[in-house]
Amino acid sequence: MTSKEIVFMYSGQGAQYYQMGRELWEHDPIYRAALKRYSNLTGPINGRELTEIIFSRPLSDSMYFDKLIETHPLIVAVSLALTDTLAERGIVPNRVLGYSLGETISAVVSGALTPEEAIWAVRTQAAVFEKLVSPGCLVAVLSSHEIITEAMPLYLRKRVHLAAANAPAHYVYGMKKNDCSAFMEALHSHGLSHALLPIRFAFHTPLIDNAQENFSEITEQLSFCVPRIPVQSCALSGEIHEFKAYHFWRVAREVVRFYDTIVPLANNYTTRLVDVGPSGTLAGFLRIPNRHPASSQKSKKITRPAIIIMNQFGSDIRTFNQAVERLA
């Protein structure tokens, strides 16, 4: 690692919300030009430009912002536009980390994949999932994996799948849509805080396996270069040195191991972690207590918070400028 390493972290599905980046869009010409560029690369979706989709409804409607054909390319476009805007301020990463869909973004930022190919791929993949995968749901839970498992009825334990391990007291589970209510009722009855994510499919579980063949046909058409900077993969819990087509199916299908991936970076005193996603989701995971009070699990502590570039609570300009000042 370099003496002052900057790590850009890119989040995936669930980070989207209506009105994201509104202040930057209205007041920062660099961000506006970048987002327009990626919107043009994407092209219209059901007759609407990306920017029209983002600003079409109020923030309060974001729970319904779950059409994959819209959100997949939107998350990529907004994250890349933020990256370009930071670069214009002289802030560039020495290393990148990708979480789920964020691995496609990190591939672009590392120079391993072009923006054109990435946006084409995620838009085409979204259509594949919408056509071939049955509706599912993802539920985030604030507790330890052992406590969550104990809270589930036995029949649900075979139907609910671990999808992401974000912190020792934060996990995401995927299941069929008709099992979602029973799972959340079990959590509620045990007093476990949880949230249904605005995602229509149970990614990172066996429930998306029907899409594997068609998904792989898409990634096999991509041309990869050797990354110019190190890339941390949450599918591998470590660094990926060379991108291959099959890697991206692993990214979609396997459990996201964010905590295992981030600990070595977060505890390096020379590293500055920067959440370049729309909502500061990954930075939020680092603030979650390292151990649930009722859990017997012991985990490594994370001692360094991450810098947020943008979130859903407004004040985009101030948040962005404060981040630039800290990173300059």
**Cα distances (Å, whole numbers) of residue 139 to 105, 118, 119, 197, 267:** 24, 27, 27, 6, 28
H or E element: which one contains 304?
none
pLDDT given at position 298: 54
Residue with tokens 């409804």: 57
pLDDT given at position 2: 44
Nearest alpha-carbon partner for 275 in 6, 4, 5, 10: 10
Q: What is the distance between the alpha carbons of residues 96 and 274, in angstroms, rounded to a whole number?
A: 9
Q: What is the distance between the alpha carbons of residues 185 and 242, in angstroms, rounded to a whole number?
A: 43
Q: How far is CA 61 from the centre of its chain?
A: 20
pLDDT given at position 275: 98
Domain 5-130+209-327 is of which CATH architecture?
A: 3-Layer(aba) Sandwich (3.40)
Within 8 A by CB and 6+ apart from 110, the residues are: 96, 227, 228, 229, 230, 231
Q: What is the distance between the alpha carbons of residues 36 and 256, in angstroms, rounded to a whole number?
A: 31
| Side chain identity, residue 105 | I
| Side chain identity, residue 51 | T
Strand order through the sheet with 193-196: 161-167, 170-176, 136-142, 193-196
Q: What is the distance between the alpha carbons of residues 156 and 137, in angstroms, rounded to a whole number?
A: 14
**Cα distances (Å, whole numbers) of residue 92 to 83, 86, 295, 328:** 8, 7, 39, 10
What size, in residues, is the chain?
A: 328
Nearest alpha-carbon partner for 31 in 23, 42, 43: 23
**Per-residue pLDDT in tens (0 to 9) along the chain, 328 residues:** 446 799 999 999 999 999 999 999 999 999 999 999 999 999 999 999 999 999 999 999 999 999 999 999 999 999 999 999 999 999 999 999 999 999 999 999 999 999 999 999 999 999 999 999 999 999 999 999 999 999 999 999 999 999 999 999 999 999 999 999 999 999 999 999 999 999 999 999 999 999 999 999 999 999 999 999 999 999 999 999 999 999 999 999 999 999 999 998 988 878 899 999 999 999 999 988 765 555 555 555 666 789 999 988 878 999 999 999 999 8
pLDDT given at position 157: 96
| Side chain identity, residue 134 | S
**Cα distances (Å, whole numbers) of residue 81 to 86, 95, 277:** 9, 18, 10
Extract the tokens encoding 129. Answer: 């999932």
Residue with tokens 């930057």: 24
| Side chain identity, residue 304 | R
pLDDT given at position 284: 94
For 136-196, which CATH class?
alpha beta
pLDDT given at position 215: 98
All structural domains of the chain with their residue ranges: 5-130+209-327, 136-196
Could you give the count of Cα atoms lying within 13 Å of 222 in the half-sphere of its Cβ?
Answer: 29
What DSSP letter does each residue of 171-234 carry, written as one string?
EEEEEEGGGHHHHHHHHHHTT-EEEE-S-SS-TTSGGGGGGHHHHHHHHTT------SS-EEET
Extract the tokens encoding 242. Answer: 């060379």
Identical fold between 5-130+209-327 and 136-196? no
Model pTM score = 0.94
